[in-house]
Structure 1
Amino acid sequence: MTLSHGTLAHRLIADHLVDGRMQPGHEIGLQIDQTLTQDATGTLVMQELEALGLDRVRTQVSVQYVDHNLLQADERNAEDHAFLRSACRRFGIWYSKPGNGVSHPTHMQYFGIPGRTLAGSDSHTCAAGSLGMLGLGTGGLEVALAMTGRPLYVTMPEIWGVRLTGRLPEWVSAKDVVLELLRRHGVKGAVNRILEYHGPGLAGLTAMDRHVIANMGAELGATTSVFPADTAVRDFLRTEGREADFRELTAEPDAVYDLTDEIDLSALEPLIARPTSPGNVVPVREVSGEPIGQAVIGSSANPGLRDFAIAAAIVAGRQTHPAVSFDINPTSREILADLTKMGSTFDLIAAGARIHQAGCLGCIGMGQAPAPGLGSLRTFPRNFPGRSGTEQDAVWLCSPETAAVSALTGEITDPRAWAAEEGVPYPRLRLPAHSTVNRAMFEPPLPPEQAARIELERGPNISGLPDFDPLPDVLDGPVLLKCGDNVSTDEISPAGAKALPYRSNIPRLAEFTFTRIDPDYPRRAAELATEGGPGRHFVVGGENYGQGSSREHAAITPRHLGLRAVVAKSYARIHWQNLANFGVLPLEFDDPADYDRFDVGDRLRLEHLHTALAPGAEPRLRLRNTTKDETYPVRHRLSDSRRRTLLDGGSIAALAREEQQHQRGASTDILATQADPGDLSHDG
């Protein structure tokens, strides 16, 4: 096989490589320049920094955003905001105030620099590739370790070159580009791959257009996405008053890719993802006429000023359908200010739009929950079942053009057909040459001497990290849950206005675990509990187990309830890492057909785990089903260091033990949380 070379992705990796070989499937360690955390995952990261004994972050820039849990129906979210601010002041982290904006576009506006690496405890950190960065979404503990200056370990991916030609037609925009890739390749199409975009078609895509495409690389399963830092990036940074941060970065003219694809932008048409998967993509014209009750524009998937301004221009002088709630979630305060200066905010309000604060909001199920079964068109990245906050939802993913036109008609409408019927020309926008930069919404890090005196502010809803016991030599317990393919972390640990306010209270949040699949799971887990702790049990999963959000809660809360092993056909990358980080053994079927031989209630047994997981031991085990008197071959993909971590009960426990050894003068290997090579499934 000819390995790729001369690509921009290789250049970015080589510039930050501190360990390993740049060969697909091999483990590599990368030095991280910047980190990004958000409030839905950041409280755990800050507690992990405390547990690690960090004095001050050692990255070039670390930023904590408050963008997910903005609704303050009671005191819980406000308590978490206060805790996060105190942690930022203590550890030397920038603090983005509530309402300042969604982390990914806001970071792009204020901190993104071509050529830098960015690790984020949010799966859509890959959006930073729009600026020629290497943005990697990962679990919170990996981000915490990067903040201490340790390398981030990942599997070296293949580089998938996507050549763009032509120019987008009228009524088609960047969202349709990434939807086309999802139509072709599905939610697992870019597993263990970096999507690198190149070709003459780039000339017609702005930096924010590229953000739309790079952001939803996560939905394809990509490790990340990369665009060159070219004229479009220079123009964006100039608009933000940061042209001095520009650095031209492109692939070599003779770059060779492991895989290739090509999209003629001029041949695209408006596309839409049907409920309930981003990969279920069809042309809008094929589903036109479906009634809707909501259209929402915003989120990190369509975050640019253009995305809101085009919607405003479409509805200007018109009134949205009386049956439709037309919701606008500005993605940053800067964009809301610019939209207002342009007069577009007035056009939206006059047309019946509801203007919300800058943040994720409906994208994570924090408000704007739709009516059951009635179509909700959203410019969001995900439409997993129940993620909207409504259990029987019907969420479609589309471009701002399709959402705005459909808001006027009350049904899914191909914007080209509407424009032809109404005689409406495609709007020509004049965006401001300079953005309304407002750095006052960021609180900078305190000087070290002041930071050292800061105490963390803990409200009563912040429980702290649980203590997890080591993995026993024998695991014996029932299958408490069997689930199908593509189970998302939203289904394991739900988001939304009911559950997320407990994100810092693990015992309380655990009561929501798996309830979208089996409402009785928490109760049955509790019934297994003994005086010595939670009852040990297994979960059986299908393909792509744990796709979606990077939230660690989807590993921690089942672990809190006694989950000690998952046996699945394949895993999403980040969730697989999170399971191992918190002491849950992630196993895969040698023969995926064995999945059908398991039933809820079957009693399973794994023996001699301390020997089986010893360094250098073969990565295969025998799983005994004592109920059916059958044995199945299963395997793991744990490196030696992660085996030790898992045997200790998880990464925090392992690091604490190693720190104790270090204090006694022992030589230790503190890099015990590295990801492992192997054909893992995709990055959620």
Structure 2
Amino acid sequence: MVELVRKGVFLFKSRMIVEAADQLSEYEINNRLLSADLGPLSDCSISQETARANTMAYQIMTAHNLSGDWRKLKLRFDSLASHDITYVGIIQTAAASGLKEFPVPYVLTNCHNSLCAVGGTINEDDHVYGVSAARKYGGIFVPAHQAVIHQYMREMMSGCGKMILGSDSHTRYGALGTMAIGEGGPELAKQLLNKTYDMDYPEVVAVYLDGHPIPGVGPQDVALAIIGAVFKDGFVKNKVLEFVGPGVGNLSVDFRNGIDVMTTETTCLSSIWCTDEKVLEFYRIHGRPDAYRKLEPGEVSYYDGLIKVDLGRIVPMIALPFHPSNVWSISELNQHAVEILREIEMIGKKQLENPNVELRLSNKVVNGRVKVDQGIVAGCAGGTFENIAAMAQILEGKSTGTDQFALSIYPASQPVNVELINNRAIEKLMIAGAVLRSAFCGPCFGAGDVPANNGLSIRHTTRNFPNREGSRPGDGQIASVALMDARSIAATALNGGILTPATEIDFPAEIPSYQFNKQIYDNRVYQGFGKAQPKEELTFGPNIVAWPKIRALPQNLLLKVASVIHDPVTTTDELIPSGEASSYRSNPLKLAEFTLSRKDPGYVNRAKAVQALELKRQTLSNGVVIQEVEEFFRPVLKDEKQDVNQLQQIIRDTGIGSVIFAIKPGDGSAREQAASCQRVLGGDANIAIEYAAKRYRSNLINWGMIPFTISTGDQDKLRVDDYLYIPGIRQAIINGEEKVQAVVVGAKGTTMLELKLEDISQEERDIILAGCLMNYYAN
């Protein structure tokens, strides 16, 4: 089904894979090509360096690179995209750093807080701010319920050979020939200020598709099979996935988009696909044929690894709680349901670490089959035209039943919705019992259709992290999400919630034609790029608050450990929850109150107590030492006989802050607030074995927090309330040091800890020294 090749490979004419081909002669290669009926090479060069330059990823990235050195990329993007829980902070950051006008098309969509259901006026206040910012700076404003962010970007902004940067982790348009990257807000602020996105050239891994999907298998099934194969050992972490092979042409564009958007869950950096006549037809339908050009690798292309996918062997899949990589075939789950679900219960109990909730899944087994409570198809992954049309084919003339099971469907855009109305798919689904809603991302992050306590929801959305569906463990609530394809969700709905793969039912698997009505957007979307109105006043609601002042990095740091997390992976949802907390994204002070609230409820008070001491430290005057500040320093001072002046100088040079330790933090969302909320509460660093994604590490740096790493054997040296003294940290950052020594003082005594400063560029060091990106630009 999915085979991994964990070493470099050459691909010849996008059809033949040869491992270690650098050891083969041109004669041997041409013999293989002739025997495969592919004809000889026109270019005899098969060196690794030349072949690496023949990948689509190389061609696109180097075309956007301003450094002159392909190994050290400085990228400028063709356009930017944000939604209504990210664009306020990004524009505020850029404006504080000198923004006058958006230099590239910047799309502000409203698909996350669009229900305006929590917090009174604050969500619509953000939307009003967005309109005023689009007018002032020359942006594109997509009002609420018109489109989810990634569907609008597919329909209106993608283009073959382009690059797009978005402040949402599922920024992926590779199937349309566009390399897209999801990042934290500060990286978009840099682009708005005509700065670059800097990184080392990433490794590129080929995804070789072969064969045809069998009837009843959809894009989510293929995506989950790939995620399940590559996530756990980080095979494609921070790499680019390049989709090639004969199987690409056997997939519709909607099918490709459905796989592509889920590549985020592999932890890859970006993706790109070969383009063909089907992609050209997509652009013709959307009135943008000029956006198409054929993309394919050169005759000989080199990849740092390969994922081979036999589409004909993919079966309906399900990702069980609490991660998209926890993948099983639906048939396997049904055969061993009690055993598998009890194992998930045990894992969940350990991961949730919450005595107030009791996870129960094994009781979902009824007469030997799993029975679920809810089905949801929504967002950039599920809400596409072909997914929903297929559901209508399955449910036409039938019923979802009158029991507890409920089915909700969210088309990804108004144009998709209108066409589903035109071909009567919506009518068929509503008659069957489905509820149709507007273009909204809520079910993907816990702001819509929250299940009942201990409910199990099957969803064609992007994630199923703990509590991401909206439950609140602090109130004794727990619910769970399993990811599935829309076709199998419809088949399950047909059976009243009994888990059913779509391959077990007969339905007409014909793909209906699609017509795009651009008038819907012409009548509602504000197109302001190139039309900035500098005299326009920004409209601020009472919840929109500027970032608090952040100090620069002091000479030394004295940190107190405010949280220790030993889970194998810590998601951004656990660092700062989604759902109701999202309404406060424009208010950094209020949002910070939610930090780690679902994982470690005591964190905020611990961090605040340390922050209060730092504020007192900053007010010290000559000859005066506040007793509680002095007492905070005493555990790490080797000589307790220092006089007042010596102690005063040490305190003056040493910043007090908090720090968290997690084994692998930052999987999931690109949200910058996972880092900025810690910073607002006085956090100075994270300590990890490794970071789950580049975007989280970037967020830490852009908010002035040091992304320390330590060796695996040192993780037990840190406990909550331990002191961590790092003398000379500022000079170490200035000098480009890659290691510093810290003194750890805790209940078990004093020990030394080596903190690593890995792969931090000079500019990133300058940002850390300044205290945050805003300070860096202000300086």
Considering the TM-score relative to the shorter chain, is it more than 0.5? yes
In the TM superposition, what are the counterparts of 1:581-660 in structure 2 within 5 Å?
A: 581-589=702-710, 591-615=711-735, 617-627=736-746, 628-637=749-758, 638-657=760-779
Deviation at 1:438, TM superposition (A): 2.0
**SS at 1:512's partner residue?**
coil
For the 8 Å contact 2:316–2:503, the answer to whether it is kept is: no
CA apart distance, 1:65:
0.7
Q: CA deviation at 1:174?
A: 1.5
Cα distance 1:17–1:287, how it changes in 2: closer, same or farther (>3 A)?
A: same
AA of the residue aligned to 1:313: Q
Q: Structure 1, residues 471-492: CA drift from partner, whole Å, max 9, x if none?
A: 1222113211011221111111
Q: Deviation at 1:559? A: 0.8
> Which residues of structure 1 form unaligned runs of 5+?
658-684
Q: Deviations over 1:449-471 (max 9, x none)?
A: x6111111001100112211111
Secondary structure at the aligned position of 1:618 is classed as: coil
Give the structure 1 partner of residue 571 of structure 2.
488
1:145: how far off? 1.5
Query: How far apart are residue 90 of structure 1 and its match?
Result: 0.9
More displaced stretch, 182-191 vs 371-380: 182-191
Aligned partner of 2:632 in structure 1 is none
The CA distance in 1 between the partners of 2:597 and 2:299, in whole Å, is 52
Decide whether the 8 Å contact of 1:212 with 1:303 is kept in 2.
no
Alpha-carbon distance in 2 for matches of 1:478, 1:516: 21
- The equivalent residue for 2:57 is 9
**Structure 2 SS opposite 1:427:** coil
Aligned twin of 2:390: 310
Structure (1 or 2) with the larger CA radius of gyration: 2
Q: 1:242 aligns with which of 273, 276, 288?
A: 288
Which of 569, 580, 586 is the matching residue for 2:689? 569
Q: CA RMSD in A?
A: 1.7
Distance 1:646 1:278 in 2: 33
Matched, 1:21 2:69: yes
Task: Spell out, residue by residue over 1:588-607, the C-alpha distance to the aligned partner (whole angstroms, 9 max, x if none).
Answer: 01x21211222112111111
Q: Which residue of 2 aligns with 1:431?
A: 513
For residues 422-571 of structure 1, the aligned pairs below 5 Å read: 424-435=506-517, 437-439=519-521, 440-445=523-528, 448=531, 451-483=533-565, 484-496=567-579, 498-530=580-612, 533=615, 536-543=657-664, 545-571=665-691
Say which SS state the counterpart of residue 490 (structure 2) adopts.
Answer: helix
| Aligned partners of 1:285 and 1:413 also within 8 Å | no
| Match for residue 400 of structure 1 among 476, 481, 486 | 486
TM-score of the two chains, using structure 1 as the length reference: 0.91
The correspondence for 1:300, drawn from 380, 392, 417, is 380
Q: Secondary structure at the match of 1:89?
A: helix
| Structure 2: gaps (5+ residues) | 1-7, 9-47, 335-368, 473-477, 617-655
Partners of 1:293 and 1:410 within 8 A in 2: no
What is the SS of the residue equivalent to 1:77? helix
Following the alignment from structure 2 to structure 1, what is the Cα–Cα distance between the partners of residues 519 and 415?
6
1:324 equivalent among 402, 405, 412:
405
TM-superposed deviation, 1:232: 1.6
Which amino acid is the alignment partner of residue 335 of structure 1? V
Cross-structure match for 1:152: 197
* Count of residues in Structure 1 that have an aligned counterpart in Structure 2: 643
Q: 1:569 to 1:102 in 2, by over 3 A?
A: same
CA–CA distance in 2 between the matches of 1:131 and 1:397? 24
Q: Deviations over 1:614-650 (max 9, x none)?
A: 14x3211112212231112121132122112101111
- Paired residue type of 2:775: A
- What is the aligned partner in structure 2 of residue 673 from structure 1? none
Amino acid at match of 1:86: S
SS at match of 2:170: helix
**Contact 2:331–2:501 under 8 Å retained in 1:** no
Instruction: Name the SS for the 1:196 alignment partner.
Output: strand
Corresponding residue for 2:26?
Answer: none
Aligned partners of 1:214 and 1:224 also within 8 Å = no
Output the CA distance in 2 between the equivalents of 1:243 and 1:447: 22
- In structure 1, the residue matched to 2:139 is 93
User: What letter corresponds to residue 57 of structure 2 in structure 1?
Assistant: A
Paired position in structure 1 for 2:438: 357
Q: Aligned-pair distance for 1:411?
A: 3.7
Question: 1:194 and 1:447 mapped to 2: Cα distance?
Answer: 32
Moved over 4 A (4+): 433-437
SS class of match (1:40): coil
Q: Deviations over 1:227-246 (max 9, x none)?
A: 12221210111111222322
Which residue does the alignment assign to 1:195? 241
Give the superposition deviation at 1:536: 1.4
Q: TM-score, normalized by length of structure 2?
A: 0.80
Residues 169 and 410 of structure 1, relative CA distance in 2, 3 Å threshold: same
Trace 1:327-346 onto structure 2 (pairs within 5 A): 327-346=408-427
Q: Distance in 2 between matches of 1:437 and 1:305?
A: 18
8 Å Cα contact 1:208/1:303 also seen in 2: no
Identity %: 28
Residues 443, 408 of structure 1: alpha-carbon distance in 2 compared, 3 angstrom cutoff: same
Distance 2:671 2:514 in 1: 36
- Contact kept, 8 Å, 1:57 with 1:149, in 2: the verdict is no
SS in 2 for 1:123: coil
After TM superposition, the structure 1 stretch with the greater mean CA deviation from structure 2, 272-281 or 596-605, is 596-605
Q: Check if 1:376 corresponds to 2:462.
A: no
AA of the residue aligned to 1:653: N
Q: Which moved more, 1:293-302 or 1:275-284?
A: 293-302
Distance in 1 (alpha carbons) for counterparts of 2:129 and 2:507? 50
Q: Give the 3 Å change call, closer, same or farther, for CA 49–505 of structure 1 in structure 2.
A: same
